[in-house]
């Protein structure tokens, strides 16, 4: 994995580590500064991305963080795949190369990206060149999301384990509860929660 953003005209300059043998998740954060008179064309370009990304194996979701006047001038496009290999296939695809060729005339500074493998992050990393919420807001959002899950998930998971005939075992119970909490945080709660709180996060 490279921690240095780079130009992605063709996607061939991506530095990645060998694909893992298990699905661990991979996320690309792409930042764009759009020319002042090109925003309508760029918004149309954004609408075209979704269906094209979804057509590739392993696509999980796509989030767009739009500029907030007076706060940030950049668009941030966050694309998540289930494995690094699937993300790399999208990055190196002819479909994406065509998209980059279309968007370049609309941009001020080109197409910058940052790739992270492992657990998908919920806030754009500093190396992405995108605005990042201040730490105390990240803390409050993450805490407020985890708290109800920690309270509610055991009430759901433990009865299911007992109903399935699995005897009570502290370590197994904790493993299943925490696994469920993390899965909900990564795939369900945080992508939607951060989108809901986007304006407050970036104030």
How many whole angstroms separate alpha carbon 61 and alpha carbon 82?
10
CA distances from 125 to 28, 72, 76, 128, 138 (A): 11, 15, 11, 6, 12
Tell me the mean pLDDT in the region 46-63. 89
> Cα(166)–Cα(162) distance, rounded to whole angstroms?
5
Q: Please, what are the domains in the chain? A: 6-128 (3.30.70.100), 135-201 (no CATH)
| Cβ proximity of 152 and 45 under 8 Å | no
Q: Which of 170, 128, 152 is nearest to 2 (CA)?
A: 128
Residue 6's pLDDT is 37
pLDDT of residue 136: 79
Q: Among 67-76, 99-108, 185-194, which range has the highest average pLDDT?
A: 99-108
| The overall pTM is greater than 0.75 | no
- How many CA atoms lie less than 13 Å away from 108 in the CB half-sphere? 11
Confidence band, pLDDT 50/70/90 cuts, at residue 116? low
165-185 average pLDDT score: 85
Say yes or no to pLDDT of 18 above 50.
no
């Amino acid at each position: 994995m490279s921690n240095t953003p780079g130009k992605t005209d063709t996607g061939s300059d991506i530095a990645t580590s060998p694909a893992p043998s298990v699905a661990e998740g991979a996320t690309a954060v792409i930042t764009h500064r759009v020319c002042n008179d090109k925003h309508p064309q760029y918004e149309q370009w954004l609408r075209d991305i979704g269906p094209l990304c979804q057509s590739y194996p392993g696509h999980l979701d796509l989030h767009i963080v739009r500029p907030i006047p007076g706060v940030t001038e950049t668009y941030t496009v966050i694309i998540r795949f289930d494995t690094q290999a699937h993300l790399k296939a999208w990055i190196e695809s002819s479909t994406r190369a065509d998209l980059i060729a279309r968007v370049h005339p609309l941009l001020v500074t080109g197409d910058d990206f940052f790739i992270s493998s492992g657990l998908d992050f919920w806030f754009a990393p500093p190396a992405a060149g995108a605005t990042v919420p201040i730490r105390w807001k990240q803390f409050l959002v993450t805490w407020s999301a985890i708290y109800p899950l920690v309270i509610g998930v055991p009430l759901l998971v433990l009865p299911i384990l007992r109903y399935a005939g699995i005897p009570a075992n502290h370590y197994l119970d904790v493993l299943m509860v925490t696994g469920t909490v993390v899965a909900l945080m990564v795939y369900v709660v945080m992508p939607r929660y951060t989108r809901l709180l986007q304006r407050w996060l970036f104030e």
